[in-house]
Amino acid sequence: MEGYKMKTIPSFGYEILRDHLLPSILGKHEEDVLYWAGKELARKFPLFSMDELPSFFGEAGWGQLILEKEIKDELHYILMTTEEMSINIEQRCFRLEAGFLAEQKQKQLGYLTECYEEKIEKKNYVKFILKWDLKEKI
């Protein structure tokens, strides 16, 4: 994230926009628009490797991203909130993060990649599953 000066901004302002304003504006299209917005962000902020994802997520204020497991055509990540964040995962849409992950992997791998999220509400984290199709070269 060279060229960007790190500032400490209260998460309240971010949460107002993310959890209240965007859902109100986007309505029933929220999930689709946020997924494609995440893909667009990945194009504007390309990473050299998937190893940079946890750092990017932390700097973006999206939470702590951890690689859970890797299978031949899948990656499983867990997104946990930090103490500074007061995210209610039950109410937040995580399609922005999913789109970002999908596009980063797709750019690096060169194959069609999709990402699905699953909220694990009892443990207060989100699981992202990236899957790519080795038959669909981009």
Mean pLDDT of 26-48: 97
Question: Residue 6: inside a domain, yes or no?
Answer: no
Residue 56 lies in a domain: yes
Q: On the CB side of 38, how many CA atoms lie within 13 Å of its CA?
A: 28
Q: Do the domain assignments include residue 4? A: no
User: pLDDT, tens digit, for every residue of 49-94?
Assistant: 999 999 999 999 899 999 999 999 999 999 998 666 667 788 899 9
**Could you tell me if residue 3 is inside a domain?**
no
Residue 98 inside a domain? The answer is yes
Neighbours of 70 (CB within 10 A): 11
- How high is the pLDDT of residue 39? 98
**Token representation of residue 29:** 């299209």
109-126 mean pLDDT: 95
| Nearest-angstrom CA–CA distance, 62 and 37 | 15
For every residue of 2-24, DSSP letters joined together read TT-------HHHHHIIIIIIHHH
Q: How far apart are CA 82 and CA 33, in angstroms?
A: 26
User: Biggest alpha carbon distance in the chain?
Assistant: 45
Q: Look over the chain and give the mean of its residue pLDDT values, rounded to a whole number.
A: 91
CB atoms within 10 A of CB 34: 22
In a domain, 76, yes or no: yes
- For residue 79, what are its two tokens? 């997104």
Q: Is residue 61 part of a domain?
A: yes
The whole domain housing 109 covers 11-137
